[in-house]
Chains A and B, each alone.
Chain A
Amino acid sequence: MTTKQKGNGASRRQFLTGAAAAGAGAVAAAAAKASGPDPLITEMQDWASSTGAGVDATPYGMPIQFESDVVRRNVEWLTADTISSINFTPIHALDGTITPQGCAFERHHSGAIELRKEDYRLMINGLVDQELVFTYNDLERFPRENRVYFCECAANTGMEWAGAQLNGAQFTHGMIHNMEYSGVSLRTLLNEAGVKPEGKWVYVEGADASSNGRSIPLEKALDDCLVAFKANGEALRMEHGYPTRLVVPGWEGNMWVKWLRRIEVTEVAVESREETSKYTDTLANGISRKWTWEMDAKSVVTSPSPQAPIKHGPGPLVITGLAWSGRGAITGVDVTLDGGKNWQKARLAAPGQSKALTRFYLDIEWNGEEMFLQSRARDETGYVQPTKNQLREVRGLNSIYHNNGIQTWWVKANGEAENVEIS
């Protein structure tokens, strides 16, 4: 970025002076009077006089420099290396429901590969009338659909099974993104090959070294799965599967195979590494659940939260967060300020969409006292998001995956927030 900013030093100094004055005022009262004229208003600012960047400065733009903390973060100790690893969406700083692709989380098992459209091939084989090979251009000629869905890693919040560990919504709940996908329904592609009656499953795998092969029951494959090539209006990012990925609405992110290269119709599940060794959930008695595909109803307050403390003092406060369910639409979110003694209904920014993120708000008058903030989602099946302890009573502590328990933020009198567990 080489945008010129003339007189930057002077205006920056004025800005900081002004900000400090406003901050001091807010502590005194919600509607404080100005102690004097604000130089940001009374003094002419550079941007009101000189010119900004030209339209040729940025053919493809990045966020403004002041938003440099709104980025993906990784946690080094979680994995042995950064190639088969995870990073986290900065959900604490986002609003609405659409995740900007550039900061949407990544999970790779052999790194993000670079696969040109020209080199891309998609094969359908196995129990079909005609095994087929498609080029990328072929895929763009099929009738297309547009749908918004969340993709949540099965391990999202997994580090929190044994208790409060990571201090921030980005780290506890950020293995998720929500995009508008454009692509072809998997049903359309399978129809082109013609599924034989004995076909009961599809095995899907990627072009990368890990392959990430997973078995999906044919019923789901013919229901709402998409082979997507656009997300949020543009081509998929390399790290999200360019040029195509599978979209498996409501189901654990591992099944959203990236760089999708092959769809095999089979009679039985392959029981691949990613559905035996991994993505199986061990219960307290040592028996493990397999094929735990759906992501259950879940929510989190994104602000205030440990990375988004209250800086404005008492008075009007926007509490906001995200809710989602892999079993349908969110129908309501309750929020508590006192650790679950009393709950109130939050306002949904828009009616919940099936298997997509839903934004909620609760506008309160904060009295400056500590709070134990929690949110509790409900979906259209009637399922109510459980507490972590309710989940632990059923599953124990070793499930690793599918932790959709209620999150608590301890908001202190100084406005800072911390990830805690409470009785």
Chain B
Amino acid sequence: AAPMGKIGLGRPALPEEVAAWNHDILPDGTGLPDGEGDVWTGEEVFADNCAVCHGDFAEGVDNWPKLAGGMNTLNREDPLKTVGSYWPYLSTAFDYVRRSMPFGAAQTMSDDDVYAIVAYILFSNDLVDEDFVLSKDTFFDVEMPNADGFIIDDRAETELGLFSAEPCMENCKESVEITMRAAVLDVTPDHGGDD
């Protein structure tokens, strides 16, 4: 940034304050806390705190997110995107569980519990053995199946040129046929709102 004059508002953040809010964990493991958790502890913690929505085996209840399964479905009609089948980095799972789960009681779990839950999710996805213990030291022993499944936005190369041609204005096509109707599907809430 080009240097500009400072206005002199705000005050220095104290180390305790930064530590209280700065919880993010980077893909390279920066930010991982001390502690550990094994699969079987994870199963218990998961059963107590997570299974009501995510299922005993992380398979998901009703419309709640499935955390396990869906391997090799990403190029199919209805891909099942889970921690195992889709998430590129394990750091995200730890970060998100610790920061925002359980839904409705976020930031109530100890770091050991979070390690254990994540270990159990990995086990549910057949990515670790039942005797696996997750910690800083074993974090990168886990291979995330879809780690190479992402590319940076390539619309500039694949779309912008394609969609910047001069468009047709007259006699652009012969016929127009209806191929799909929303009214036939009939999943829209009733109109109105005044009743």
Contacts and interface: CB of A to CB of B under 8 A. Distances in A.
A268 interface: yes
Given A110-B103, A289-B150, A343 B181 contact: no
B95 to A, nearest CB: 7
A276 interface: yes
A397 B77 contact: yes
A13 interface: no
Contacts of B91: 271
Interface string B104-147: 10110000000000000000000000000000000000000000
Given A133-B12, A163-B179, A211-B100, 19 more contacts: A80-B53, A80-B65, A125-B13, A132-B10, A163-B180, A165-B185, A166-B187, A190-B1, A264-B22, A270-B24, A270-B25, A272-B95, A276-B92, A286-B74, A288-B74, A289-B154, A340-B172, A343-B172, A394-B158
A422 interface: yes
A268 B12 CA distance: 24
Nearest to A196: B1
Contacts of B189: 73-76, 171
B74 A191 contact: no
A423 B173 CA distance: 10
A273 B53 CA distance: 18
Contact of A132 (B12, B62, B81, B163): B12
A229 interface: no
Contacts, number: 267
A169 B194 CA distance: 18
21 contacts: A80-B53, A80-B62, A80-B64, A123-B13, A132-B12, A138-B9, A142-B9, A166-B182, A166-B188, A167-B183, A168-B188, A191-B1, A209-B100, A261-B21, A270-B95, A273-B95, A276-B92, A277-B96, A287-B74, A289-B154, A383-B164
Contact of A307 (B7, B17, B191): B191
A232 interface: no
Contacts of B153: 289-294
Given A167-B183, A272-B24, A423-B177, A296 B155 contact: yes
A192 B11 CA distance: 10
Task: State the majority secondary structure of interface residues on B.
Answer: loop
Nearest to B82: A277
A422 B181 CA distance: 9
Interface in A160-209: 163-168, 171, 187-188, 190-195, 203, 205, 209
Contact of B150 (A130, A166, A288, A420): A288
B19 to A, nearest CB: 10
Q: Chain B contact residues (Cβ within 8 angstroms of A): what range?
A: 35 or more
A285 B83 CA distance: 19
Interface residues of A, number: 104
A152 interface: no
Contact of A292 (B24, B103, B155): B155
Contacts of A110: 100, 103-104, 106
B152 A211 contact: no
B1 A276 contact: no
A384 interface: yes
Contacts of A84: 103
Interface string A330-356: 000010001111111000000000000
A307 B193 CA distance: 12
A262 B21 contact: yes
A383 B77 contact: no
Interface in B4-34: 4, 6-13, 17-18, 21-22, 24-28
A422 B87 contact: no
A89 interface: no
Contacts of B25: 270
Contacts of A264: 22, 24
Interface string B157-186: 011101111111111111111111111010
A366 interface: no
A394 to B, nearest CB: 6
A101 interface: no
Contacts of B26: 266, 268, 270-271
Contact of B74 (A77, A138, A282): A282
Contacts of B159: 296, 386, 394
A190 B2 CA distance: 11
Interface string A280-310: 1010111111111110100000000011000
Contact of B176 (A83, A276, A290, A338): A338
Contacts of A268: 26-28
Contacts of A211: 99-100
Contacts of A171: 188-189
Nearest to B173: A341
Contact of B7 (A83, A164, A192, A292): A192
Contacts of A134: 9-10
Contacts of B7: 141-143, 188, 192
Contacts of A76: 189
Contacts of B11: 132-133
B13, B65, B81, B167 — which one has the most chain A CB atoms within 10 A of its CB? B13
Given A80-B63, A125-B18, A376 B88 contact: no
